[in-house]
Structure 1
């Protein structure tokens, strides 16, 4: 889940083409690609940063080609936390062997003096020429706050530094960001039969950079008059259910989870499930509606509504009645005795 631009505490684009460095200009624009990046990863995802570097200069001596650049990522990030590094120039993927290196504060990049993630790839300075566009992507196994990081450029014997862009920083605005998703398990044959179990899964995600007190989570299930279900089993079990026990038919059931954990850490999630058995349903089918859910209170929107189709399979028809015996059911044989 990418973080919208208007929520970021940092710039998503910097332009070194307006900065003179001892009479030379490194005319390159660096932009964080929000569509390709995943700044606030969800369950099972990695934090990903993708940057586009574009030469926007002219064929003039004052402009210098790019030799390499360094992203000043948080110095706490280790090499084992960095994965899936990709570099493309003019859309063609590059071999990164020996060309991507993590420089530390004690051993920074010599030409620029900058620590961080170094990409040793050159780029054409002239706007629109071949070799003037580069895309860099990398992932982190541990999410970091998104805030200002320095980008250092080197080319033409000159180093440009000081401009910052959004990236994986050591510290950032410590703000939690809670969200909720809900899924009603779908059976293979498109409905739940009498005797089968149905499960509803809610996931609370803290995609922000700070821990938060675990919120109260609520859910509501509507059981129609022509359907009956068993008592509910919740996991974690610390839930209040109203009415407290089943079987249920023709009613709303409210589930409230409180005090699951003291805190929900930054960039983490917790899953809650509700399971029940279908006890009765019409042969023509019916629908249990998981009406709503929310953090703290029901949302009042259709965002969290899902349906659980149920049905009772009619018994097979009885076998046809047996008919009485007739003369045709007997085989009569005759035998002639010798005279």
Structure 2
């Protein structure tokens, strides 16, 4: 099996020594080429060329943003809402970022060395699974997207990273609290449209999930749509209030064991094939943790069985 290891050397939890160890271990199972990213979008370029060269497996060692880039590099747009027709490489992930939501949601170990040993065993046993992805704004996303407060948090984290600060769960928490209190008093601008449902307006912010958990706070999962998975449609979580009391109540539910968020101010639905979100004025938009700018309308689609991943068949 021929494989390409794409490494983001700037990712939060990667080191030269660990990267060399990971590459050496993988060489015991596959014919490996290693490539390091040097600029934004480079992972997409490398993955596109790998697919053109017929590489069997693309392994990404980096954060969720690098994984997203790689998938968008080799995977064509959906065809009439279905996965692209034709051969594509398999993909595997070795965590290297600060959250690594996609890898952990697949059942991949959070520690890169443990994940490498796990990946070698999976390759040796021929374990693969097909998973669904989300598609919006002419891009694929693996685990979540959103408009509003989470996009502003992602923008804040990107700015912090560009200024040389290390990204950590505590920095995400501080950014989320700051953006929440900045938004108090703002008018709601979003309207949500899902199939076979009346439109929901008066929404302040909306999350669209392709899996659960929506993210992690350190070791603790955050579940906005616990019934959403890589094998279902999309989950929608939309708040119609910026009140402190309702916000705290829902936040506690998101972190609780067996989370099942409920509130009179919350619109939540699972397993929808598509959702359209419009804004009365431009609002921040993020995808897989990357801030993508301002949007007035985004339509999201669930695309079943879009890619084949090297991952446990039943994540813990």
Fold match by TM threshold 0.5: no
What's the TM-score once normalised by structure 1's chain length? Answer: 0.23
Question: Is the helix fraction higher in 1 or 2?
Answer: 2
What's the TM-score once normalised by structure 2's chain length? Answer: 0.24
Question: Is the strand fraction higher in 1 or 2?
Answer: 1
Higher RCO structure, 1 or 2 (CA under 8 Å, sep 6+): 2
